[in-house]
Amino acid sequence: MSASPRALVHLTVKPGAKVPGIAWIGEGWVLRVRERAIEGAANEACIAALARILGVAPSKITLVRGRRSRSKTFAIEGLDDRSVGERMATPS
């Protein structure tokens, strides 16, 4: 029985953005979300945005580091690192 692939995504979150989206800026991914960092709203928005960008269910995405920080790490179940990179580089 083989394990399901699991990718880790490291990014910086910009809550309260006027224009949401994802971009490679400098040396890493930056995800802009409209929601403010109040009561986890920005974290939930990040999961929803990543699910849409990567084409996976939100239940497949887990915040593993950075709950109260702008630097976050998400685990993506069912995708490998290469697939995640390709999908983030060409979001639909």
The confidence band for 2, taking pLDDT boundaries of 50, 70 and 90, is low
Rounded Cα distance, 26 and 58, in Å? 27
For the entire predicted model, the pTM comes to 0.90
pLDDT digits (tens, 9 = 90+) for 46-70: 999 999 999 999 999 999 999 999 9
Taken in order of first residue, the domains within the chain and their CATH numbers are 6-89 (3.30.1200.10)
Residue 51 and residue 33 in contact, taking contact as beta carbons nearer than 8 Å: no
Residue 6 and residue 74 in contact, taking contact as beta carbons nearer than 8 Å: no
Rounded Cα distance, 1 and 25, in Å? 39
* Helix residue spans in 55-89 (DSSP H): 81-89
